Structure 1
Amino acid sequence: MLRLSRFATAAASSKSLARASKQAAKRAPHPAVAKESTAPPVATVVAPSDASRVGTSMSFIARNLNSHTHAAEIAADSAALEEHGRAAPEDSHDPQIHTGLNGAQHHDHRSAGKLNFDASKAGLQQVDKDYVEQVIQEASKGTAFYLKEQRLEETRRRKAEELQEKAKSFDSIGTFEMQRIKAMVDTMVHELEATRDLQRRYIHIDMDMFYAAVEEKKTPSLRDKPFGVGSQQMLSTTNYIARQYGVRSGMPGFIGKKLCPDLIIVPNDFPAYQREAARVHSIASRYDAQFVSVGLDELTMDVTKYLQEFPAVSASDIAHDFRDEVFLKTQLTSSGGIGPTSILAKIASNVNKPNGQHEITLLTREDVMDYMRDIPLRKIPGIGYAQEMILGALQIHTCGGLLEHKYLLAYLFREKTLAHYLSVGLGLAETFSQRRHHTRQSVGKETSFSEPLPSPEALTRLFRKLLEQCHVRCVRDHLQPRKMTLVLKYRTYDTEQFSVSLPYHTNDLKVWLEASQKLLEPHLLHYAELRLIGVRLLRFTDADDDHGDIITSSHNALTGASTEARNRVENEDMHMDADSPGLRAEDAAAAAEQADADEVPPTQFPATHKRKIPVSKFLTDPKITMARPADPAAAAKTLKSARRRVKSSKRKIPRKK
Structure 2
Amino acid sequence: MALTYCGDKAGMASLDMNRIKRIIADNTGQDFQHHERQVEKQVEERIKNKCEMLSYATNEQLKRLEEEADSVAIKMEEHRSINRFWVHIDMDAFYASVECRDKPELRTVPMAVGGDAMLATSNYLARKFGVRSAMPGFIAKKLCPDLVIVPCDMHKYIRESNIVRSIFQYYDPNMFMGGLDEAYLDLTDFVGQRIFPVKCKRIRYTGDCICRLPLIPSNQNISEDAERVVIICNRCNKERIAIIDYVVFGTGLDDIVNQIRFEVEQLTGLTCSAGIATNKMLAKICTDLNKPNGQFYLEADRYKIVDFMNSLKIRKVPGIGPKCEAILKSIGVEKCSDLFEKRAKIRYIFTNLHSEWLLKVSLGLDAWEIDKGSNQKSAGIGRTFAPKQNFTELCQILYKLCRKLIKSLPSSRIVGGRSATLSIKFATFDYITRCKSVDFVIQNVEMLYPIVEGLLKKELVGRHDAIRLLGVRLSDLIFYGFNFDEENGEEEEELQQGKEILKENKNN
Q: TM-score range by the shorter chain?
A: 0.5 to 0.7
Distance 1:525 1:165, change over 3 A: farther
Matched, 1:125 2:60: no
Q: Which amino acid aligns with 1:349?
A: T
1:269 and 1:600 in contact (8 A); partners too: no
Q: Which amino acid aligns with 1:158?
A: E
1:316 and 1:359 in contact (8 A); partners too: yes
From 278, 289, 293, the equivalent of 1:340 is 278
Deviation of residue 143 (structure 1)?
Answer: 4.1
Q: Which amino acid aligns with 2:3?
A: G
Deviation of residue 326 (structure 1)?
Answer: 0.8
Q: Which residue matches 1:139?
A: 27
Deviation of residue 247 (structure 1)?
Answer: 1.0
Q: CA-to-partner distance for each residue in 1:44-97, whole Å, 9 max, x for gaps?
A: xxxxxxxxxxxxxxxxxxxxxxxxxxxxxxxxxxxxxxxxxxxxxxxxxxxxxx
1:455 and 1:609 in contact (8 A); partners too: no
Gapped runs of 5+ residues in structure 2? Answer: 197-250, 409-420, 470-508
1:212 and 1:238 in contact (8 A); partners too: yes
Q: 2 CA distance for matches of 1:373 and 1:150?
A: 33
Q: CA-to-partner distance for each residue in 1:473-508, whole Å, 9 max, x for gaps?
A: xxxxxxxxxxxxxxx7576999489x9xxxxxxxxx
2:129 and 2:143 in contact (8 A); partners too: yes
1:372 and 1:399 in contact (8 A); partners too: yes
Q: Which amino acid aligns with 1:248?
A: R
Q: 2 CA distance for matches of 1:391 and 1:201?
A: 31
Q: Which amino acid aligns with 2:55?
A: K
Q: Which amino acid aligns with 1:268?
A: C
2:276 and 2:286 in contact (8 A); partners too: yes
* Larger proportion of helix: 1
Q: 2 CA distance for matches of 1:214 and 1:195?
A: 42
Matched, 1:252 2:143: no
Deviation of residue 599 (structure 1)?
Answer: 7.8
Q: 1 CA distance for matches of 2:315 and 2:181?
A: 20
Q: CA-to-partner distance for each residue in 1:357-385, whole Å, 9 max, x for gaps?
A: 1212242x222221111200111111111
SS at match of 2:303: helix
Q: Which residue matches 1:603?
A: 457
Deviation of residue 132 (structure 1)?
Answer: 2.1
Q: 1 CA distance for matches of 2:35 and 2:78?
A: 44
Q: Which residue matches 1:113?
A: 3
Matched, 1:153 2:40: yes
Matched, 1:305 2:189: yes
Q: Which residue matches 1:530?
A: none
Q: 2 CA distance for matches of 1:496 and 1:445?
A: 6
Q: Which amino acid aligns with 1:394?
A: I
Q: Which residue matches 1:366?
A: 303
1:369 and 1:427 in contact (8 A); partners too: yes
SS at match of 1:350: helix
Distance 1:271 1:136, change over 3 A: same
Q: Which amino acid aligns with 1:409?
A: I
1:445 and 1:575 in contact (8 A); partners too: no
Distance 1:438 1:333, change over 3 A: same
SS at match of 2:439: coil
SS at match of 1:273: helix
Q: Which amino acid aligns with 2:284?
A: K
Q: 2 CA distance for matches of 1:594 and 1:447?
A: 18
Distance 1:524 1:167, change over 3 A: farther
Deviation of residue 122 (structure 1)?
Answer: 1.4
Matched, 1:289 2:145: no
Q: Which amino acid aligns with 1:377?
A: I
Q: Which amino acid aligns with 1:391?
A: L
Q: Which residue matches 1:652?
A: none
Q: Which amino acid aligns with 2:442?
A: H
| Rg larger in structure | 1
1:236 and 1:599 in contact (8 A); partners too: no
SS at match of 2:120: strand
From 291, 296, 299, the equivalent of 1:353 is 291
From 360, 381, 395, the equivalent of 1:423 is 360
Matched, 1:328 2:195: no
Q: 2 CA distance for matches of 1:440 and 1:215?
A: 40
Q: 2 CA distance for matches of 1:357 and 1:494?
A: 31
Deviation of residue 334 (structure 1)?
Answer: 0.5
Gapped runs of 5+ residues in structure 1? Answer: 1-110, 463-487, 500-515, 528-534, 536-561, 577-590, 616-657
Q: 2 CA distance for matches of 1:233 and 1:611?
A: 18
Distance 1:278 1:436, change over 3 A: farther
Q: 2 CA distance for matches of 1:596 and 1:158?
A: 31
Q: 1 CA distance for matches of 2:445 and 2:51?
A: 25
Q: 2 CA distance for matches of 1:281 and 1:594?
A: 17
1:236 and 1:598 in contact (8 A); partners too: no
Distance 1:260 1:235, change over 3 A: same
RMSD across aligned positions (CA): 3.8
From 399, 410, 421, the equivalent of 2:336 is 399
1:234 and 1:597 in contact (8 A); partners too: no
How many residue pairs match? The answer is 391
| TM-score when normalising by structure 2 | 0.68
Deviation of residue 609 (structure 1)?
Answer: 3.8
Matched, 1:408 2:345: yes
SS at match of 2:88: strand
2:398 and 2:449 in contact (8 A); partners too: no
Q: 2 CA distance for matches of 1:328 and 1:593?
A: 26
Deviation of residue 597 (structure 1)?
Answer: 8.8
Distance 1:442 1:340, change over 3 A: same
SS at match of 2:296: strand
Distance 1:597 1:422, change over 3 A: farther
1:148 and 1:492 in contact (8 A); partners too: no
Q: Which residue matches 2:51?
A: 164
